[in-house]
Amino acid sequence: MEALLDKICLGTAQFGMRYGVANKSGQPNQKDIDSILDFSYNSGIRYLDTAEAYGQSEKCIGNFLRNNPSKNFSLVSKYSFESSINSCDTKQIPSMLEAKIQKSLDKLNIATIDGIMLHNPSDMYIDNVIEALITMKTKGYVSNIGVSVYTTTDALYAVNHPSIDCIQIPYNVLDRSLNSTHFFSIAAQKKVTVFARSIFLQGLLLMNSEEVPDALLGVNPYIQKLDELSNKLGIKRYELVLNYALANPGIDYIVIGIEHIDQLKKLYSTIRKIENCDFTGQVNQMEITNIDPRIVRPYMW
């Protein structure tokens, strides 16, 4: 079970803002965040994903780390540059990035960070951006540099880049586009760390049909198929969707956002239940055709 828990990276967007189409409880307070992080650490889940764009997330994590110095988490944070670069010379990018990282380190109450990623994949095509990441690594601010992507094209570009150490991809039972490419084999060969997000599509894949927003009603036929397969296998839809990402050997970490501790306890108990299961074959046989791209791309919602 420890191996599967090691594969969980706690998403913390909810710590700093109301996040997720299925979010009913809103943003947790510091006390609730402390409880989540405490349970996470004690359960063996010790990787956190955050970003400068996630409101007070970095500060809330830093508050916990300051009060619990013996509980060390690995951390990855993400940064965007495009809007800033539009109004400045690209030669300023290294100093801009260094300032961003130092601000994060201060908020997080840490001296160095395990990973930093470009939050906007288009930034990796801008002159001097990747070089700036490399410089931060050379200076010792960070151990690993990478990018968070949305499309197959960006994922393949990133995984083939000689300086990229880590990539965050969208991946779930409805979005399997990378399975039909060489992405995972290249990442394994180059020892690029792969983080998968959106495994629940911000909770959309866990909603009842009557809860689905009007703009996303096209997901209901696929939810019905998932329920039919889950019933056939004698498991819950949540377990099926979670297992699909956990069972992929090409994924090193799956990023799961938590709003309250009950969700974390459910995740923990579910992993314990499905630790020896692999329903990948059955899910891959489930036909997914003509799906509206907007359904599997939360940034378009």
β-pairing, 47-49 vs 8-11, is parallel
The span from the CA of 229 to the CA of 209, in Å, is 16
Q: Residue 88's pLDDT is what?
A: 61
CB neighbour burial string for 116-141, b if at least 16 within 10 angstroms, e if fewer: bbbbbbebbebebbbebbebbbeeeb
The span from the CA of 111 to the CA of 76, in Å, is 13
Q: Residue 18's pLDDT is what?
A: 62
Q: Residue 115's pLDDT is what?
A: 98
pLDDT tens-digit map of 162-196: 999 999 999 999 999 999 999 999 999 999 999 99
β-pairing, 166-170 vs 193-197, is parallel
Domain assignments of the chain as residue spans, ordered by start: 2-300
First to last CA, the chain: 35
Residues in the chain: 301
Angle at 5 between CA 270 and CA 2, to 5 degrees: 105
Beta bridge partners of 8: 254
CATH 3.20.20.100 fits 2-300, yes or no: yes
Q: Residue 30's pLDDT is what?
A: 97
Each residue's pLDDT, cut to its tens digit, for the chain (301 residues) gives 467 889 999 999 999 876 555 546 678 999 999 999 999 999 999 999 999 999 999 999 999 999 999 999 999 999 998 655 555 677 888 999 999 999 999 999 999 999 999 999 999 998 889 999 999 999 999 999 999 999 999 999 999 999 999 999 999 999 999 999 999 999 999 999 999 999 999 999 999 999 999 999 999 999 999 999 999 999 999 999 999 999 999 999 999 999 999 999 999 999 999 988 999 999 999 988 888 888 999 888 8
pLDDT tens-digit map of 55-94: 999 999 999 999 999 999 999 999 998 655 555 677 888 9
